[in-house]
Chains A and B, each alone.
Chain A
Amino acid sequence: MIKLVSLVITATALGLIAHSAVAQKTTVTVATFPDLDRAAKAAVPRWNALHPNVEIKIVSLQYSDHHTAMTTALATGSGLPDVMAVDLRFMGKFAEAGGFEDLLKPPFNAALLREKFVSYTIPQATNTKGELVAMPTDIGPGTLLYRKDIIEKASVTEAELTKSWESYIDAGKKIKEKTGAYLLADAADIRDIVIRSGVKDGEGLYFDRSGRVLVDSPRFERAFELGHKARQAGIDAKVVAWTNEWSTGFKQNRIATQMMGAWLAGHLKNWLAPDTTGLWRAAGLPGGTYASYGGSFYAIPKKAQHKTEAWQFIQFMTVNKETQLESLRVLDSFPALAEAHSAPMMDEPLPFLGGQKARALWRDIAARVPAIPINKYDAMATDIIRDEFENVVAKGKPVKTALADARALIERRSRR
């Protein structure tokens, strides 16, 4: 009883404090997009308990709408939020543009915080002037998810899938022959990973430091040839990710493997193919490749209103272990904070993957993903490479010609 009374009193007192604080309450606007907005929404109650005077206003828009709105805001220097979420795809453009605070400078002094993150994320958030313009919040360590039941039926082993790209494709032929299932959804997936393997130090994906176009290098030739080979062998289902055909392919056991960010396992479990629980396993990408899929960041615009509070909130979202693990729990988004990787949760067996302790595998992958510098023309180069690849696989255009054309198109657009 006494306990209850004291509780009530405390509650009232807290209410009074909160009430008296209303006058000086600050509102921090966080502009974001789904699913990242859910991580922020989930963290708000704990934030409010710690910072009763700082209210968080979350403004969420569809992925491309958000980045369009932010482009407009940065262009005109007005209507900017205090905290801006930025997807990796837009980091190249936004980081170079100069609209964000350099977090290495006071009062932010994030130099020491850099050590706390999975190492490849920091170069992604650093521009050519050496400024750290954003803090990483989640990552997507690249993994090969495969159907254990299907490959066993075809007497293929995990080692055959991952040893090299050639053996991955050969395994696919066996799987197709014995089970009728496709090895993968889209041959373009192979291309996307192979261009990421063996990137030389200091080189970007499509450009080197001096902006020279790299798309006719052996790395791209090999990627195109392997992708083409898979298409010719008839082992890809020719379906694009996130379509109903893709989801159906998984549900009807017609697709045996999928390369994607580790978070895909969560989506498979929740809705893409919930009935396939226990049948999937995770492995590293074929050919000993380490790559990552996407990633999200938080930045502070130079024209933000409440930078101190914004910085507090960003730290709360990114370097707070509890918040990072909460996002993993709620959204299956993989923490960018290395410290969170030692939590017991990371070693839990995942029932969807037949009890495999896959997070530990993904943690190791994350630690080995090379840091690839970004370029503001990356998105454009991606489009052109995709189109030329289609010319190769659908129209039989020779790989060398396609890559030479891609190079010409990219140079034409980037050297202006």
Chain B
Amino acid sequence: MNTPARRRKWKQRDIAPYLFIAPFFVLFLVFGVFPLGFSVWLSLHQWEPAAGMSAMRWVGLDNYMFALTDPWFHRSLWNTLWFAVVSGLPQHLVALPLAYFIQSRLKRSRNLVVGAYFIPYITSSVAIALIFATLYSKDYGVINALLQALHLPGDIDWLGDASYTKPAVAFVVFWRYLGWNIVLYLSALQIVDNDLYEAATLDDVSFWQQFWHITLPLLRPMIFFAVTLTLIGNLQLFEEPFILVDAEKGVAPSVMTSAIFMYRLAFSDGDFGTASAVSWILFLIIAALTWVNSRLFKRAEDHDVSR
């Protein structure tokens, strides 16, 4: 009586996970695999797309060699890594404690405050380009006016002087994605036991200790998720430098990320083959860094358990 029923259930349990993940893989097969294969194929060819499919010319690994030895590509990689660290790291260093603070200390104003931090993420990129150009303006900008009021040098050409352009753009990236990380951490904080906060409010000394010793370890899966997303996102950074620093501007190369380099190769140089090769090189770099990141998280976890 018991056995067939159990076997049936055992079987169902065996198949279930595959059924649950099937939609992703079916869609990936239909919509993802061909473009990927095409892009690998393309990276081995010289191709000006406007000339049609027949214009593809086999060049083997030439595009990869070209990219790897190209001074502009090296520069773009450096810029990309710079942005990944400078605009990425502070997002988490600020978002984590801030989310903790909001979760434990704000009650009624909570949604409003979170909303305020989240708003940059939904502000249209046209508005961002227009408004930051105004804020960063050398002669008329609010930022320089503030600096002058504080008796600091206030005639900085933020978006026109190569030594300031990068930090100026990095700030916008930080500004835009901070709230997004706060929301991620807030959603994860919901499952951290609520009693913790009530206990914590009793004694302010232990407030941040609680955060450090109890909350942070519990948040680890979400931190891993959020950091991975930032890593992947920042290594593909395109929009913010692209809209803030006009490609016609002389300083544009100082914020040329690898994604922008790829875009220029494809749409300005008409060299889709090399652009594809660059995208695969970039993919390998992102994958490697993500792997390292996951190792680091894994090791920290093991360390915790052994303790």
> Taking the complex as a whole, does A directly touch B, i.e. does some CB pair lie under 8 Å apart?
yes
Chain A residues near B (Cβ < 8 Å) = 64, 67-68, 70-72, 74-77, 93-94, 96-99, 188, 238-241, 243-245, 248, 376-377, 379-380, 383, 386-387, 389-390, 393-394, 409, 412-413, 416
Known: A76-B53, A386-B248, A393-B250. A376 touches B267 (CB 8 A): no
Report A-chain residues with C-beta under 8 Å of the C-beta of B55.
97
Name the one of A93, A387, A389 contacting B270, with C-beta atoms under 8 angstroms.
A93
Known: A393-B250, A413-B269. A75 touches B52 (CB 8 A): yes
Report A-chain residues with C-beta under 8 Å of the C-beta of B49.
71-72, 74-75
Known: A68-B267, A380-B269. A74 touches B52 (CB 8 A): yes
**Smallest beta-carbon distance A61→chain B, Å:** 14
B208-236 interface (Cβ within 8 A of A): none
**Is the C-beta of B307 less than 8 angstroms from some C-beta in chain A?**
no
Known: A93-B270, A383-B264. A238 touches B52 (CB 8 A): no
Alpha-carbon separation in the docked complex, A241 to B161 (Å): 16
Alpha-carbon separation in the docked complex, A394 to B246 (Å): 17
Q: Is the CB of B246 within 8 A of A99?
A: no
For residue A405, which residue of chain B has the nearest CB?
B71
Binds A, one of B82-90, B109-117, B131-139, B199-207: B131-139
For residue B136, which residue of chain A has the nearest CB?
A245
Q: Is the CB of B157 within 8 A of A238?
A: yes
**Is the C-beta of B130 less than 8 angstroms from some C-beta in chain A?**
yes
Known: A71-B49, A76-B53, A93-B48. A390 touches B140 (CB 8 A): no
Q: Is the CB of A394 within 8 A of B250?
A: yes
**Smallest beta-carbon distance A57→chain B, Å:** 23
**Is the C-beta of B249 less than 8 angstroms from some C-beta in chain A?**
yes
Name the one of B51, B71, B248 contacting A96, with C-beta atoms under 8 angstroms.
B51
Q: Is the CB of A377 within 8 A of B250?
A: no
Report B-chain residues with C-beta under 8 Å of the C-beta of A377.
269-270
B30-62 interface (Cβ within 8 A of A): 46, 48-53, 55, 62
Report A-chain residues with C-beta under 8 Å of the C-beta of B70.
412
Known: A72-B49, A97-B51, A97-B55. A243 touches B267 (CB 8 A): no
Name the one of A99, A244, A412 contacting B137, with C-beta atoms under 8 angstroms.
A244
Alpha-carbon separation in the docked complex, A94 to B55 (Å): 13
Alpha-carbon separation in the docked complex, A72 to B272 (Å): 11
Q: Is the CB of A394 within 8 A of B249?
A: no
Report A-chain residues with C-beta under 8 Å of the C-beta of B247.
383
**Is the C-beta of B154 less than 8 angstroms from some C-beta in chain A?**
no
The 8 lowest CB-CB distance pairs between A and B, nearest first, are A390-B250, A75-B49, A97-B50, A97-B51, A380-B269, A74-B50, A379-B268, A387-B253
For residue A395, which residue of chain B has the nearest CB?
B162
Alpha-carbon separation in the docked complex, A376 to B271 (Å): 11
Report B-chain residues with C-beta under 8 Å of the C-beta of A409.
71-72
16 inter-chain pairs at a CB distance below 8 angstroms, sorted by A residue, are A72-B49, A74-B51, A75-B53, A93-B48, A96-B48, A97-B51, A98-B52, A244-B133, A245-B133, A379-B268, A380-B269, A386-B252, A387-B250, A390-B253, A394-B161, A409-B72
**Smallest beta-carbon distance B145→chain A, Å:** 14
Report B-chain residues with C-beta under 8 Å of the C-beta of A70.
50
For residue B272, which residue of chain A has the nearest CB?
A75
Across the A-B interface, how many residue pairs have beta carbons closer than 8 Å? Answer: 96
Q: Is the CB of A245 within 8 A of B140?
A: yes
Report A-chain residues with C-beta under 8 Å of the C-beta of B71.
409
Report B-chain residues with C-beta under 8 Å of the C-beta of A77.
52-53
Q: Is the CB of A94 within 8 A of B50?
A: yes
How many residues of B sit at the interface, in one of the four size bands?
35 or more
Report A-chain residues with C-beta under 8 Å of the C-beta of B164.
none
**Smallest beta-carbon distance A388→chain B, Å:** 10
Q: Is the CB of A97 within 8 A of B48?
A: yes
For residue B72, which residue of chain A has the nearest CB?
A409
For residue A390, which residue of chain B has the nearest CB?
B250
For residue A237, which residue of chain B has the nearest CB?
B139
Alpha-carbon separation in the docked complex, A393 to B50 (Å): 36
For residue A98, which residue of chain B has the nearest CB?
B51
Q: Is the CB of A248 within 8 A of B270?
A: no
Name the one of B52, B161, B162 contacting A99, with C-beta atoms under 8 angstroms.
B52
**Is the C-beta of B167 less than 8 angstroms from some C-beta in chain A?**
no
Known: A240-B246, A387-B250, A413-B271. A93 touches B53 (CB 8 A): no
What 0/1 readout, one digit per residue, does chain B (260-282) give for beta carbons within 8 Å of chain A?
A: 00001001111100000000000
**Smallest beta-carbon distance A389→chain B, Å:** 7
For residue A393, which residue of chain B has the nearest CB?
B250
Report B-chain residues with C-beta under 8 Å of the C-beta of A98.
51-52
Among the interface residues A94, A377, A383, which one has the most CB atoms of the partner chain B within 10 A? A383
Q: Is the CB of B267 within 8 A of A64?
A: yes
Known: A71-B50, A386-B248. A416 touches B270 (CB 8 A): no
For residue A378, which residue of chain B has the nearest CB?
B268
Q: Is the CB of B51 within 8 A of A394?
A: no
Alpha-carbon separation in the docked complex, A377 to B271 (Å): 10
Report B-chain residues with C-beta under 8 Å of the C-beta of A243.
133, 246
Alpha-carbon separation in the docked complex, A67 to B137 (Å): 31
Alpha-carbon separation in the docked complex, A93 to B269 (Å): 9
Q: Is the CB of B134 within 8 A of A188?
A: no
Known: A77-B53, A240-B246, A394-B162. A376 touches B48 (CB 8 A): yes
For residue B267, which residue of chain A has the nearest CB?
A68
Report A-chain residues with C-beta under 8 Å of the C-beta of B52.
74-77, 97-99
Q: Is the CB of A240 within 8 A of B53?
A: no
**Is the C-beta of B97 less than 8 angstroms from some C-beta in chain A?**
no
Alpha-carbon separation in the docked complex, A130 to B46 (Å): 25
Alpha-carbon separation in the docked complex, A93 to B48 (Å): 8
A244-B130, A244-B137, A416-B66 given; 8 more Cβ-contact pairs under 8 Å: A74-B49, A75-B53, A93-B270, A98-B51, A248-B140, A376-B48, A379-B269, A386-B250
Report A-chain residues with C-beta under 8 Å of the C-beta of B140.
245, 248
Q: Is the CB of B53 within 8 A of A380?
A: no
Report B-chain residues with C-beta under 8 Å of the C-beta of A72.
49
